[in-house]
Structure 1
Amino acid sequence: MKSILLVVTNVDMYASGSLKTGLWLSELTHIYHSAREKGLDITIASPKGGHVPIDPESLKSWALDKISRGYYRDPAFMDKLNHSVGLKQAKNDSFDCIYLAGGHATMYDFPDDPNLQDIVRKQYERNKIVAAICHGVGGLLNVKLSNGAYLIKGKSMTGFNWFEETIARRKQEVPFNLEAAIKERGADYKKSIIPMTSNVVIDKNLITGQNPFSSKEMAKVVIRELEKQPIR
């Protein structure tokens, strides 16, 4: 049985304290649903473990699709989400794929988490799949490989762009410009021609998705690439 580690946030507010944030639900539910259908061993983990807040914006009618709505109403799923494993514990396990789900909240607790960096580095260097979507991509920014180089340097990848922050009306709230930070690390940043449309970029065992609208495609691509890998 192949396994997947789904990493989510513990943060529920922007630093300003004026707006709530958290996990963008569809960025977890679609990969969770696909992994479940394939019979994968699924672990949901977060930096601190325990409760995982959900961004209220992701629960609005335009964002809450059928799959996400179904899981949001599923007591068993919500219980699992609110009893996430701590990354400190998860880093002792081995996974065939790790997937960093997004939400603006991840910009606060993903980039500098040492356990997450350790998990991602080991995963990537074992040639196992490392996937991240939207703001979850921020969890890759400060990961350094064993040779001291940033993991994303020279890699083709994507993530939520600055113009999309304008559309989301969060430019004044976010702690940094994700698109600029990706480019500063020397990555080859790629974005869709039309903002807020699906875009998934594959660079060997690194898979990234641009925004929430990439959730369905990301799930398909990750599962497809995972099925290509031999069972460990």
Structure 2
Amino acid sequence: MKTILLIVTNVDMYASGRLKTGLWLSELTHIYHSAKEKGWNIIIASPKGGNVPIDPESLKPLVLDKISKDYYRSPSFMNELNHSKNLEAVKDEVFDCIYLSGGHATMYDFPDDTNLQYIIRKQYERNKMVAAICHGVGGLLNVKLSNGEYLIKGKSMTGFNWFEETIARRKKEVPFNLEAAIKERGADLKKSIIPMTSNVVVDKNLITGQNPFSSREMAKVIVRELEKQPG
């Protein structure tokens, strides 16, 4: 029986106050669905706990796939999501995988959250799986290992890049350039040849997905890699 911690945002608005943001729904639902199918234990947590806003862009018909639509319509799932645990309450628990869901909102509450950094560092140094998708990889940026170096230094990884930010028309809204920040910390950023297409990168126990279109593949890769592990 595996236990997976799914981490989500509590932020619902860009700093400008002009646009709403939040969790990108499919980046949670696909891994949630895959873990449910396996009968694994799932814990949803957020920096503050409680309510988790959903980015309205992720609910548009062109991007809302059937799995995500079904969960959005599920009262039990939405109740679980909006009663997320506080990271402080789960920081000393043991997980087989921690997964950072994305959405532009995570750029505000993930990078500097000390509980999140503690959980990730502990998980990674135990050689347990750390996974993050899209803007959720911003939660990895400021994590330092016990030797003082950034966790992502020298690692192959991916995340929502600056050209994709142009396509999303959010360059003037986001608080920082995620692609540049990843490179500044010495990581080897791997991009898909075609923007806004699936791309998942595995570097030992670090798994990252580039964008929302990587959600399905990300879930498959995590399940595959977890099933390789004993216990």
1:78 alignment partner in structure 2: 78
Q: How many Å separate the matches in 2 of 1:150 and 1:220?
A: 27
| Structure 2: runs of 5 or more not aligned | none
- Spell out the pairing of 1:120-139 with structure 2 (5 A cutoff): 120-139=120-139
The runs of at least 4 aligned residues of structure 1 exceeding 3 Å deviation read none
AA paired with 1:86?
Answer: N
| Distance of 2:201 and 2:172 partners within structure 1 | 28
* Residue of structure 2 equivalent to 1:148: 148
Cα distance between partner residues in 1 of 2:126 and 2:93: 13
Q: Which residue is equivalent to 1:167?
A: 167
Gaps spanning 5+ residues in structure 1: where? none
* Secondary structure in 1 matching 2:102: coil
2:16 is equivalent to residue 21 of structure 1: no
Aligned partner of residue 192 in structure 1, secondary structure:
coil
Q: Give the whole-Å Cα distance in 2 for the aligned partners of 1:95 and 1:197.
A: 29
Q: Does 1:51 align with 2:60?
A: no
The structural deviation recorded for 1:179 is 0.4
Q: What TM-score, normalized to structure 1?
A: 0.99
Paired letter, 2:60: K
**RMSD between superposed Cα atoms in Å:** 0.3
What secondary structure does 2:131 align onto?
A: strand
Q: Deviations over 1:4-54 (max 9, x none)?
A: 000000000000000000000000000000000011100000000000000
Q: Which amino acid aligns with 1:193?
A: I
Q: Secondary structure at the match of 1:45?
A: strand
Mapping of residues 59-70 of structure 1, within 5 Å? 59-70=59-70
CA distance in 2, matches of 1:184, 1:63: 31
What's the offset of the Cα at 1:188? 0.3
Q: Deviations over 1:126-152 (max 9, x none)?
A: 000000000000000000000000000
SS for the counterpart of 1:146 is: coil
Count of residue pairs brought into register by the alignment: 231
Partner AA of 1:59 in structure 2: L
| Structure 1 residue 63 displacement after superposition | 1.0
Query: For 2:66 and 2:7, how far apart are their aligned partners in 1?
Result: 22
Identify the residue that residue 107 of structure 2 maps to in structure 1: 107
2:103 counterpart SS class:
coil
Q: Report deviation, 1:230.
A: 1.1
CA–CA distance in structure 2, aligned partners of residues 142 and 223 of structure 1? 27
Structure-1 separation of matches of 2:128 and 2:92: 15
Identity %: 84
Cα distance in 2 between the residues matched to 1:85 and 1:230: 27
User: Secondary structure of the equivalent of 1:6?
Assistant: strand
Query: C-alpha distance in 1, partners of 2:110/2:95?
Result: 19
Query: Structure 1 CA distance, aligned partners of 2:115 and 2:228?
Result: 27
1:171 match: secondary structure:
coil
* Secondary structure of 2:191 counterpart: coil
Distance 1:178 1:127 in 2: 25
TM-score scaled by length of structure 2? 1.00
**Deviation per CA, 1:165-215, whole angstroms, max 9, x where unpaired?**
000000000000000000000000000010000000000000000000000
Query: In the alignment, which residue of structure 2 is the partner of 1:40?
Result: 40
* Amino acid of the structure 2 residue aligned with 1:216: R
